[in-house]
Chains A and B, each alone.
Chain A
Amino acid sequence: MTSLQGCLLVSALLFAIGLAGAVTRRNAILALIGIELMLNAANLNFIAFWRYGPTPEALSGMMVVIFSIAIAAAEAAVGLALIIAVYRHYRTVNLDEIKNLKG
């Protein structure tokens, strides 16, 4: 097992942990945390392939990760604002109790 494969395995496991948390937990904030973990696992893959790739001087994988971090920050801000708005309406963040499209 080379070290690139080690990176890929770590990233796959982190992605699976995030996916499991995002689909099994009842709290909406935990689902958002799971999505953040999955995004970070993808970022780790980009960095690993950039580092082991044939032309690391081009910095392309690094650029993708920088933009991806910015997009993840925007996603977290909007997602948490939505959770706060939903909490104000339903008085709960339990995903199983939020079932109505029309409040």
Chain B
Amino acid sequence: MSLPFVIIAIVTLLAGAAAMSLRNLVHCALSLVVSLAGLAALYLVLDAQFVGFAQILVYVGAVAILIVFAVLLTRSDATPNQTILSPGWGIGIVVSAVVFATLGWAALNSTGLPKEMPPAPETTVKNIGDLLMTQYVLPLEAIGLLLTAALIGAVIIAMRDDAAKTKMEDGRLKMEKPASPSSSGGHV
């Protein structure tokens, strides 16, 4: 196990723990950025350059900004003065400790794991593009469709439905007072 790997892993884990335990939500989002960037560095250590840069582009660039926007739009950027943990938090901690113990035990005790790192494969962008256009072309199309549907759906869910509401109120006003033109003032 190399020294860079250990350092990056410690930074990633500490930032992840901070992202889950700090009180202020903006600090949590910034710690999440550090943790995700550390994961990208781990991918670079493991010779997966394309995935590392995609991770930085998508997570550090887009998802983190999205989270910060959501924090600000829901006005939860101030430090909360009440408790930040839900009532049954002890059980949650115990369950996640059990999960970690199980996974760690399995990782340390399995015998079939390869010991040595094989020589680094050739992972140029050309290889990846070739594979995406030949063997993985169907998943690629499905992902494109999924992303389009998800983004349109996200816009529709988050859209203010003021237009429908004012239209309904206009209709009601017209039905109640058909003779008075002043009731639908701004209505053209």
Question: How many chain B residues touch A (Cβ–Cβ < 8 Å)?
Answer: 84
Within 8 A of B (CB), among A55-103: 56-57, 59, 62-63, 65-67, 69-78, 80-85, 87-88, 93, 95-96
Can you list 26 A-B contacts (CB < 8 A)?
A: A1-B108, A6-B9, A10-B12, A10-B13, A12-B100, A15-B103, A17-B13, A17-B17, A19-B99, A26-B86, A30-B25, A37-B16, A51-B48, A51-B118, A56-B121, A59-B127, A67-B143, A70-B58, A71-B146, A73-B62, A74-B150, A76-B67, A77-B151, A80-B154, A87-B73, A88-B160
Rounded to whole angstroms, the CA-CA distance of A51 and B131 in the bound complex is 17
With beta carbons under 8 angstroms apart, the residue of B12, B29, B51 that contacts A14 is B12
What is the chain A residue whose CB lies nearest that of B117? A52
| Structural contact, B117 and A51, CB atoms closer than 8 A | yes
Residues of A within 8 A of B181 (CB): none
Contact bitstring A1-30, B, C-beta under 8 A = 1, else 0: 111111111111111111111011111011
* Chain A interface helix/strand/loop/mixed: helix
Whether the Cβ atoms of B107 and A16 lie closer than 8 Å is no
CA–CA, A13 and B86, complex, Å: 22
Q: Are A53 and B48 in contact (CB under 8 A)?
A: no
Q: Does B173 sit within 8 A of A, measured CB to CB?
A: no
Cβ-defined partner of A96 (8 Å) among B54, B58, B87: B87
In the complex, A83→B101 CA distance in Å?
A: 32
Q: Is the CB of B35 within 8 A of A25?
A: no
The answer to whether B131 and A1 have CB atoms under 8 Å apart is no
Beyond A24-B92, A44-B42, A65-B51, 14 additional contacts (C-beta under 8 Å) are A5-B108, A5-B113, A8-B104, A12-B103, A36-B32, A52-B117, A54-B118, A67-B136, A69-B59, A70-B58, A76-B67, A85-B158, A88-B160, A96-B87
A25 adjacent to B131 (CB under 8 Å): no
Q: How many residues of A contact B (CB 8 A)?
A: 72
4 closest A-B pairs by CB: A21-B20, A16-B100, A74-B150, A12-B103
Counted as pairs of residues, one from A and one from B, with CB atoms less than 8 Å apart, the total is 242
Residue B46 CB within 8 A of the other chain? yes
Contacts of B32 in A (CB 8 A): 33, 36-37
* Pairwise interchain contact A66-B51, C-beta atoms closer than 8 A: yes
B123 contacts A by Cβ under 8 Å: yes
Contacts of B39 in A (CB 8 A): 40, 43-44
